[in-house]
Amino acid sequence: MANKHKKKRKQKLRQQQRKAHQEKQNQSKTIRHNTAVNQEKHRIDWQPLEPNEDGIVADRRIMPRDERDRREGLLEKSQTTFNELLTDADWQAMANKTPFELGKVIHVSRGLIGAEVNGRKLICDTRGILTAEGTGYTNITAVGDRILVEQTADDRGLMHQVLPRRSGLARMDSFQTYLKQIIAANVDQILIVSAWRDPQIWFQMIDEYLIGASRNNLKVAICINKVDLAESMEVVEATLRPYANLGYEVIFASAEQGMGIDTVRQRLQGKTTVLAGLSGVGKSSLLNAVQPGLQLRTGVVSELKSREGRHTTTQAMMVPLAMGGEVIDTPGIKDMGVSGMHPDELILFYPDLEACMVNCRFSDCTHAHEPGCAVREGVENGRLAPWRLKNYVNLFERLDEEFFETNLRKKKVRR
Ligand code: GDP
Ligand code: ZN
């Protein structure tokens, strides 16, 4: 009797569950339908008008001056995908088809662009109709960009267009989180510089730079500087082995003692390299060892400063190397691309951790206290570096919080 009662209750419960599920499904169907309708409307808004009997397209006549230009420009720029095959010759050919000269952006500061144009350094303004709108980025141009320039005075110019990019280093914009900020364009690789000590090596920062490089599809190498301050090279090498095991090139260097400089030089030659690292780790010292006399933080920056009579926040600047290639210094830029990622995506960048995780006894293991946890076991037997696990947990928590916050913000905007 009691059993029968139980069975009935269970049946009822299941019915309720099914109904709730059905409702949820219908709801999401409506949402999907509404989105589709909106998209359709949007598309119609943007369809070009048909020409009338006289062959005149109406929107051309009612468009304000420059508007068609602007839209065409936007369309061109909205191709945020990169063309990996682009070379200097291609950019030159593009410029040759226009009345303008080809320029390379070597510094950007509050709307003023420092560009190298056929051996001259020009400080350029941006043509008024060029905006970042529709590009997916919050900024129009970045160091490394190839641009079309019209010289307007001895050392002044006007930027007419940003040419398609080969690659780029971008990160989530901190205010408009649905957009990206481009930090550097047409980059070949990132060299992460960290000091072994003074400042103390910071693994989480290295992890973040590695993830940023990977998300931006850029090659990367790690340079550990100031190894002269280490107790022994064995300790340094053993500490960095987890990165080497993951397949990253790790260069041990001492700018002071001239160690590892040849390797750094080889790595930089002929490439466009973003230098990533906290201030004080020895980036300038390393570059000076690679090329004596090279100055990282002068040149165009100070020129721009004195000219405009105000201090500008330096974002990034490019320094050419005599042996070919160039480096891009990014002072003050700590976040190179972890932000904006879904927290669940993070594990993709921790294959060492994932290799352990799949062997945990429970699929929902939190790796804190459960029996049969392969992650804790991996840490104990040295297969997994404890700091890799710690970095993962820290980053996951940060991303989780960020994800929650940006979703809240998005909802607020919608209302
Ligand atoms: P940056 O801010 O990354 O460009 O760092 P700097 O090149 O300005 O170097 C910061 C400080 O670290 C300076 O006082 C350098 O003399 C010192 N330094 C740089 N490389 C080494 C090194 O290999 N060993 C030691 N002991 N000190 C170094
Ligand atoms: Zn576990």
DSSP string, 380-409: HTTSS-HHHHHHHHHHHHHHHHHHHHHHHH
**Closest ligand, as measured to the CA of 365:** 2
For residue 297, report the distance from its CA to the centre of ligand 1, in Å: 14
* Alpha-carbon gap, residue 340 to 93, rounded angstroms: 36
C-alpha of residue 199 to centroid of ligand 1, in Å: 10
Number of the ligand 1 atom closest to the C-alpha atom of 297: 4
Helix axes 283-290, 261-268, angle to 10 degrees: 80
List the beta bridge partners of residue 358: none
Helix (H, G, I), strand (E, B) or coil at 119: coil
Residue 259 CA: which ligand 1 atom is closest?
Answer: 23
* pLDDT class of 27 with cuts at 50, 70, 90: low
Q: Position 188: which residue type? A: D
Contact between residue 288 and residue 254 where contact means Cβ atoms under 8 Å apart? no
Among protein residues, the one with the nearest Cα to ligand 1's atom 11 is 280
Nearest residue (CA) to ligand 1, atom 22:
226
Q: How far is the CA of 395 from the centre of ligand 2 (A)?
A: 18
Cα separation values, 410 from 21, 31, 132, 403, 406, Å: 26, 16, 21, 10, 6
- DSSP string for residues in 24-52: HHHHHHHHHHHHHHHHHHHHHHHSPPPB-
Q: Is the pLDDT of residue 23 over 90?
A: no
Counting ligands in written order, the one closest to the CA of 373 is 2
- Give the ligand 1 atom nearest the CA of 279: 2
Asked if the bond preceding 199 is cis, omega within 30° of 0, the reply is yes
Average pLDDT over residues 214-219: 92
Alpha carbon of 117 to those of 90, 114, 121: distances in Å? Answer: 16, 10, 6
Average confidence (pLDDT) over 207-217:
93
Ligand 2 center to 378 CA (angstroms): 10
* Residue 251 backbone zone (phi > 0: left; psi -120 to 50: alpha; other: beta): beta
Q: Whole-angstrom Cα distance, residue 200 to residue 125?
A: 41
Could you report the per-residue pLDDT of 385-405, keeping only the tens digit for each? 999 999 999 999 999 998 888
Highest mean pLDDT of the ranges 4-13, 155-164, 292-301: 155-164
Q: What ligand has the least distance to the C-alpha of 363?
A: 2
Structure tokens at 404: 């929650």
Q: What is the pLDDT of residues 96-114, one digit of tens each?
A: 999 999 999 999 887 789 9
Give me ligand 1 centre to Cα 71, in Å. Answer: 49
DSSP summary character for residue 162: E
Per-residue model confidence as pLDDT tens digits over 64-97 = 566 566 555 544 444 457 899 999 999 999 999 9
* Cα torsion through 273, 275, 276, 282, rounded to 10: 150
Measured CA distances, 378 to 65, 173, 345, 382 (Å): 66, 37, 22, 6
Tokens of 242: 């987890």
Ligand 1 atom with least separation from CA of 331: 2
Amino acid at 315: Q
Q: pLDDT, tens digit, for every residue of 291-321?
A: 998 877 644 444 555 455 444 455 688 999 9
Q: Residues enclosing ligand 1, CB less than 6 A? A: 225-226, 228-229, 254-256, 277, 279-285
pLDDT digits (tens, 9 = 90+) for 33-46: 555 554 444 443 34
Pick from 223-227, 259-263, 318-322, 362-366: least confident: 362-366
pLDDT reported for residue 294: 86
Work out the burial of residue 287: count CB atoms within 10 Å of its CB; fewer than 13 is exposed, 13-18 middle, 19 or more buried. buried
331-351 per-position pLDDT tens digit? 877 778 788 888 888 999 999
- What is the residue-averaged pLDDT of the chain? 83
Q: Is 329 helix (H, G, I), strand (E, B) or coil?
A: strand
Residue type, 17: Q
pTM for the model stands at: 0.78
The CA 365 to ligand 2 mean position distance, Å, reads 5
- The number of the ligand nearest the C-alpha atom of 330 reads 1
Can you give the pLDDT at residue 22? 72
pLDDT of 60 reads 39
Q: What is the pLDDT of residue 45?
A: 39
The alpha carbon torsion through 72, 74, 76, 79 (nearest 10 deg) reads -150
**Residue nearest (by alpha carbon) to ligand 1 atom 10:** 280
